[in-house]
Amino acid sequence: MMLTGVSPAARRWADLRMQVVFRARRLNMGHMIEADQRFGQRDALGPHGLMLFFVGDAPAEPHGYTLRTAYRLWLASPDSDDLVRLLTELAEVAADNIIRSAGSGRVWHPLGPEGSMVNGGDMSLPGNAIYVGLGVTTLDSDWGRWHQVARSLRELPVNGVRRSVFDLPGQCYALLTDGTALHVRRDPHAPLGVDGVRCTRTLDADRISYYNPHEHLTEQGDDVTREVWRRLRTLHGILAAHLRPGRQP
């Protein structure tokens, strides 16, 4: 039964969170397949990627918006293999681009044309599109670091059972401008009903009162995971302040 007291904005944000989950999963899978195909080659991909989320008005859509996703993948290198280091450098680059562009009377945008932070996805936006968040896709998981796991696919398995890239899990982290933090673990072998999604806010607008064990998601996990959240929040804060000045989430 649908609750009539839920505002359209609440429904829109709940729907947007689910759309981000879907986009993150899809991008992570594509990232992993491409990285596997190029593993060991001169153009090998790094294990981490950046996602930027924007919404544009679309009155014909159920919630009046469309989600646009631009992303950036890197070639494998010591810099791109370290997610914390990568996010730290991206924040520095974004801040520098904002200052440099302002000094020359221009307004920098992360999609370019100058100083672009992306190289794939929706690289052009409608004029009414606004920034709603960012995330990262990573091929590192509880199975191990990407390079180790990818190498194991090419070795003769001891138990005689060969795995493929389609057996491997991946994960994504995301922050949205309404304060949402999302973690998505994509696991092809997850039990039925286990979606691998942890979120600080509801994914169901009609479920307005419930205990959420993930309310403090960004403070949970090991030291590296918490540092990833901190660095992601720094970059998110820079982009949100620049792209949404004075705007409420």
Q: pLDDT per residue over 165-201, tens digit each?
A: 999 999 999 999 999 999 999 999 999 889 999 999 9
Q: Where are the beta strands (DSSP E) in the chain?
A: 45-57, 65-75, 120-121, 130-138, 170-176, 181-186, 197-199
Question: What confidence category does residue 18 fall into, taking pLDDT thresholds of 50, 70 and 90?
Answer: very high
Q: What is the mean pLDDT of residues 229-238?
A: 98
Phi, psi of 175 (to 5 degrees): -125, 135
Q: Helix, strand, coil proportions of the chain in percent (round to 5)?
A: 35, 20, 45
pLDDT, mean over the chain: 92
> According to the model, what pLDDT value does residue 249 have?
46
36 Cβ contact list (under 8 Å, min separation 6):
150, 153, 165
Q: What is the mean pLDDT of residues 216-223?
A: 95
> According to the model, what pLDDT value does residue 77 have?
94
> According to the model, what pLDDT value does residue 128 have?
86
Residue 1: pLDDT over 50: no
Please tell me the least confidently modeled range out of 10-24, 77-91, 235-249.
235-249
Quick check: helix, strand or coil at residue 151? Answer: helix
Q: What is the mean pLDDT of residues 129-135?
A: 97
Residue 25: pLDDT over 80: yes
Residue 49: pLDDT over 80: yes
Per-residue pLDDT tens over the stretch 142-165 = 999 999 999 989 887 766 677 899
Nearest to 96 by CA among 108, 82, 81: 108
> According to the model, what pLDDT value does residue 193 have?
85
> According to the model, what pLDDT value does residue 209 have?
65
* Segments making up each domain of the chain, as ranges: 11-243
Q: What is the mean pLDDT of residues 3-10?
A: 77
> According to the model, what pLDDT value does residue 2 have?
44
Please tell me the least confidently modeled range out of 40-49, 124-133, 221-230.
124-133
User: Which pair of tokens denotes residue 55?
Assistant: 């919404």
Residue 3: pLDDT over 60: no
Residue 248: pLDDT over 60: no
> Could you give the CA distance from residue 249 to residue 17 in angstroms, rounded to a whole number?
13
The kind and range of the H/E element at 100 are helix 83-103
> Could you give the CA distance from residue 185 to residue 140 in angstroms, rounded to a whole number?
11
- CA–CA distance from 39 to each of 147, 152, 161, 165, 166 (Å)? 8, 12, 21, 11, 15
The DSSP letter of residue 39 is T
Per-residue pLDDT tens over the stretch 73-87 = 999 999 899 999 999
Q: What is the mean pLDDT of residues 114-141?
A: 94
Q: Give burial (CB, 10 Å; 0-12/13-18/19+) of 82.
A: middle
